[in-house]
Structures are given as C-alpha cells and as structure tokens.
Chains A and B, each alone.
Chain A
Amino acid sequence: MMLIACPHCGPRAHVEFAYGRTLDAVLPLDALPDAAARILYQRDNPRGLSLELWRHTFGCRSWLRVTRHTVTHEISEVIAWPPTPAPEAP
C-alpha cells in the first residue's frame, strides 16, 4: 500500500487514487499520426523512477503528477497537474 500526499487533501491511502498514465503518454490533440502512434503505444516502462499522472478519484478528483520508483514504490514528489491553471478557452 502506498501513501500519496495529495497537495489538496493531504496524505491518503493509494486506494483513493487511480493511476492514469505516464507523463510521456499524454497525447496532444494536434499530434500527427506517426507521433500519435508513438505516444499512444511506446513506453520507456522504466525500472526505476517514473513520472506518472494519478487522479485522486475518491477524494478531490484532481489530477496529480507523481514521481514514483517502480521497484520500491517510494514516492519522491506529488504536485498538482497541470502546475498552473489552464487558460480559459476563447
């Protein structure tokens, strides 16, 4: 069991959270087919530190960026994601 320190709610058990994807797997809406296939399907799958997006599904429902070790499960950083408020749509 991991303890994830949500920047909004404080430390909570990881069962409150859902793993979303790794940071390099975020698909820009304007990606061309080659880039889209690469982002959708190719992973570093690191055995070590990994930058991941988790969602506090059963809490504040915010997306978080979690820096986590995939062997020890040690979490070195949790920050709100995206880091600054997204600009308003025109």
Chain B
Amino acid sequence: MTRFSALGLLRAGLTGQKRWPRHWRDPEPAKAYDVVIIGGGGHGLATAYYLAKVHGVTSVAVLEKAWIGGGNTGRNTTIVRSNYRQPQLQRLLEFSLKTWETLSDDLNYNVMFSQRGAVFLGHSDADMTRLAERGDALRCAGIDAELMSRQEVGRLAPCLDLSPTARFPIHGGLIQKRGGTARHDAVAWGYARAADALGVDVIQNCEMTGFLMDGERVAGVKTSRGDIGAGRVGICVAGNSGVVAGLAGLKLPIESHLLQAFVSEPVKPMLDTVIMSQSIHAYISQSDKGEMVVGGDPDHYPTYSQRGSPHRIEDVAAQAISLIPAMSRLRMLRAWAGTTDMSFDGSPIIGPTPLDGLYLNGGWCYGGFKATPGSGRLYAHLLATGESHDIAAPFSLDRFARGATIDEAGAGPAPQDR
C-alpha cells in the first residue's frame, strides 16, 4: 500500500496525477477463510480491518453483492454523535466517537471527520428541561454536553428562525461539540484499502445465496461465485438482515423500513454545525460541497424498495424551512432512501445467533453510520474470540426474550413508530 502524504500529493500534482495505484485488490474468492463477513458496507469493512489489525486474523473475506459502500453507508446523512440517553448506548457510541477522532490517521485516509458540533434544539420549556436532564446524564457519563440559551444558539447558527412567532420557536439547545459529520464514501474506501493492505480479501460482485451447514453448525456460505468455507460467518447487512438470516432459517426482531434524505443545490457556507430537533425529528447540516443535507422521519411501513413517498419530502421540506427560512429559496438536488434495519427496541444487535458459527451485526435502525468504527471493533472482537466485548454484551440477540431491551425512545416493540 502506498502511504498517502502531503509530499506524495505534491509529487502526483507535478506528474499529472497519473501514478496513483488502485486502492485495493480485486481478488478471486479462496476456498475457505477463518472469517467470512457478509456485507461490504462500512461496518463489514471496519470489522475486517480490526480483525486483521487488532486481533491478527488475516484470513478474512468481505463479500459484497454489488460494490462496497453502495448500500446504507452511501445513503445516510453522515452525522456522528454520542449524546444518547441510555447508558448502554452512551458507552457504545462514545467508544465509536473516540475511534472516529483518530480514524483518518489510523487508516492513512482522510475520512473528513469534522467535529463541527451537533445541536439538539429545544422548542418549549418541557424540551429544555428534557435537554438539561440529558446533558447532566451525559456529563455524568463523561460525554461532553453543553446547554445553550436561545442567544447562544442564534450566535452559532444565525440562519435559524429565532423569532418568538416561529412555527417551532427556539428556546435553546444542547450541543455536543465533539459531534459532527464525516465523508461516508471515504469511510468505506478507507477501511477497504487499509484492510486489503493487511491481507483481507474484499470481494465485490459476489452475492451470498445460502449457508453451508455442517450438522447444526454454519461452516461457510454459498455465493454466486462458488462455495466458501469459513470458521466463523458474520452477517453485516443492515437493511437486509432479515433476508440473510432467513436463509439460515432464523427470524429476527427486525423489520426493514425506509428513511429518506435530501440535498439541496450547493451554496456558500451558511451552517457550520449540525442542527437537530427531536421534537419535530429534523436534522440539517451543510456538506463540504455546500449542499444542505436534510433528513426527517422514516416512511413508517415495511419496505425494501429504497425509494420513498413524496408526502415525506413535503414534510421534511416544511420542517427544514420552518427552522431555516432561507432554505425556501433553495432547490432540492436529490432525494434518496435507504433500507433501515428497524430493531424492536431501536438499538442495534451485535452477538451470536442460535446457530453455532453464525454471528449477527444489524438492527442499526437509522443510526448506523455514526457507529461504524465502534461497531467494527466490537464485531471484530466477537468474530475473533467468539465472546462479546463488554460494551457489546448488552446488545445480544437474546435480550428481547429476556426482557432486557434497550429502548431509547420508550416506544415498545413497535419498529414502525420510531
């Protein structure tokens, strides 16, 4: 692997950008691997990288049916934060956020992680009480959180409608200054390149079609490019977890829904932080290219279609304009949808399945991108040792039957109401 450096960039600039090597190989699948990971998204590639880097397991294949990072990794709003309320989620996402902070150096790949801050807006006294409580809980857990007055929110993001007659009047906010955004494609590419350099086979255009069984034990996978044996098989296909686990006869506490997001035409810098409102469920940031990136509620019915309904576009646009009136002057450039792996308590699942040799990482709902590095490290630990890491242990698949759900929204077993 050629290391990227400022000097290399300069040299390539002077020689017509012609000598860049390809970032990862295009290997044929081998007969067998110690670990086979199904799904070449950010989480799967990160898992492969940490298997090789941290655990020294280099006989690893990542199988991707299309191209890497082409699913939900490329379909999110790139927000990274760890300001959750449940202690298990705080530990998981803070572990991930700490890994984000050194990720570009670690991978020698610029993932453009930008800690521009992530603000929850409060629209009423009740909201502010709730945000203060959340902030206190976060600080007790060692996670940064600062309560902001309306004036402070206004200084940070003058484009917000701060008038008392606003549709959603802004009373203040809660900021996590270490939160921000990253470049989603670069995360997939950076992990693929770094994993490949450590000997991992990243195999694209290789669709997994079934499991190879050895008695009750999963011993490999059938694919569109032949059978591949494996010591351990890891499912990492959030959005399609139910489909892949179904090939092994498993039923999961997951329903596949969809979430849309939108970008506007690019404009000059107008918002240098991430604005979120949990009361109206809108989140807005500005990409480094200048596009306003906007997301809202899911469409609230099961679907694998990866395309949403126009009524949601109207809802999200209305929310965005009510918060930032100037956005009414922008044209929307693109709308897209990802298939969200909606678990029944809103929290992810990382753990063994009832089948020996088969492991599951999924159920990330609409919050998987921010967890990419942490999820990779914890899943690598599980696939290398067969034991769940401390931080991942509460997220086991059997928590539902045990009644030990981790329900951030307190909504019960209702994936469509989150």
Residues of A within 8 A of B (CB): 1-2, 14-15, 18-22, 37-38, 40-47, 50, 52, 70-73
Contacts of A2 in B (CB 8 A): 309
12 A-B pairs (CB sep. < 8 Å): A1-B310, A15-B311, A41-B401, A43-B253, A44-B246, A45-B241, A45-B242, A52-B302, A70-B256, A70-B305, A71-B305, A73-B303
Q: From B403, which residue of chain A is reached at the shortest CB distance?
A: A37
Q: From B245, which residue of chain A is reached at the shortest CB distance?
A: A45
Given contacts A40-B344, A72-B305, contact A45 B256 (CB under 8 A): yes
State the Cβ distance, B251 to closest chain A Cβ, in Å.
4
The reply to whether A45 and B344 form a contact with Cβ atoms under 8 Å apart is: no
Residues of B within 8 A of A (CB): 240-243, 246, 251-256, 300-305, 309-311, 344, 400-401, 413, 416
Sample of 11 more A-B contacts, CB < 8 Å, known A19-B300, A43-B252: A2-B309, A15-B311, A22-B255, A22-B302, A41-B253, A44-B246, A45-B254, A45-B302, A50-B302, A71-B304, A71-B305
User: For chain A, what secondary structure do more than half of its interface residues adopt (helix, strand, loop), or is it mixed?
Assistant: mixed
From B240, B241, B242, B302, give the contact of A19 (CB < 8 A). Answer: B302
Q: From A43, which residue of chain B is reached at the shortest CB distance?
A: B255
The reply to whether B251 and A47 form a contact with Cβ atoms under 8 Å apart is: no
The reply to whether B243 and A19 form a contact with Cβ atoms under 8 Å apart is: no
The reply to whether A42 and B305 form a contact with Cβ atoms under 8 Å apart is: no
Contacts of B301 in A (CB 8 A): 14, 19, 52
Given contacts A40-B344, A45-B246, A47-B240, contact A70 B302 (CB under 8 A): yes
Contacts of A20 in B (CB 8 A): 416
Instruction: Give bound CA distance, A44 to B413, whole Å.
Output: 15
Instruction: Give bound CA distance, A72 to B310, whole Å.
Output: 16
The reply to whether A41 and B300 form a contact with Cβ atoms under 8 Å apart is: no
Q: From A71, which residue of chain B is reached at the shortest CB distance?
A: B304
The reply to whether A18 and B300 form a contact with Cβ atoms under 8 Å apart is: yes
Contacts of A19 in B (CB 8 A): 300-302, 416
Q: From B416, which residue of chain A is reached at the shortest CB distance?
A: A19
Contacts of B413 in A (CB 8 A): 40-41
Most buried by B among A1, A2, A19, A21: A19
Contacts of A42 in B (CB 8 A): 251-253
The reply to whether A47 and B310 form a contact with Cβ atoms under 8 Å apart is: no
From B253, B309, B401, give the contact of A14 (CB < 8 A). Answer: B309
Q: From A15, which residue of chain B is reached at the shortest CB distance?
A: B311
The reply to whether B243 and A45 form a contact with Cβ atoms under 8 Å apart is: yes
From A45, A46, A70, give the contact of B252 (CB < 8 A). Answer: A45
Contacts of A73 in B (CB 8 A): 303, 305
Most buried by B among A14, A18, A40: A40
The reply to whether B401 and A47 form a contact with Cβ atoms under 8 Å apart is: no
Given contacts A42-B253, A45-B242, contact A70 B311 (CB under 8 A): no
The reply to whether A45 and B255 form a contact with Cβ atoms under 8 Å apart is: yes
Contacts of A21 in B (CB 8 A): 416
Contacts of A41 in B (CB 8 A): 253, 344, 400-401, 413
State the Cβ distance, B252 to closest chain A Cβ, in Å.
7
Contacts of B252 in A (CB 8 A): 42-43, 45
State the Cβ distance, A53 to closest chain B Cβ, in Å.
11
**In the complex, the 4 A-B pairs of residues with the closest C-beta atoms, listed nearest first:** A45-B242, A42-B251, A19-B301, A41-B253
State the Cβ distance, A68 to closest chain B Cβ, in Å.
8
The reply to whether A43 and B303 form a contact with Cβ atoms under 8 Å apart is: no
The reply to whether A70 and B303 form a contact with Cβ atoms under 8 Å apart is: yes
Q: From B253, which residue of chain A is reached at the shortest CB distance?
A: A41
State the Cβ distance, B266 to closest chain A Cβ, in Å.
29
Q: From B307, which residue of chain A is reached at the shortest CB distance?
A: A73
Instruction: Give bound CA distance, A21 to B412, whole Å.
Output: 13
Q: From B399, which residue of chain A is reached at the shortest CB distance?
A: A41
Q: From B306, which residue of chain A is reached at the shortest CB distance?
A: A71
Instruction: Give bound CA distance, A64 to B301, whole Å.
Output: 14
Instruction: Give bound CA distance, A42 to B413, whole Å.
Output: 10
Q: From B401, which residue of chain A is reached at the shortest CB distance?
A: A37
Contacts of B344 in A (CB 8 A): 40-41
State the Cβ distance, B212 to closest chain A Cβ, in Å.
22
Instruction: Give bound CA distance, A40 to B416, whole Å.
Output: 13
Instruction: Give bound CA distance, A50 to B302, whole Å.
Output: 9
The reply to whether A44 and B242 form a contact with Cβ atoms under 8 Å apart is: yes
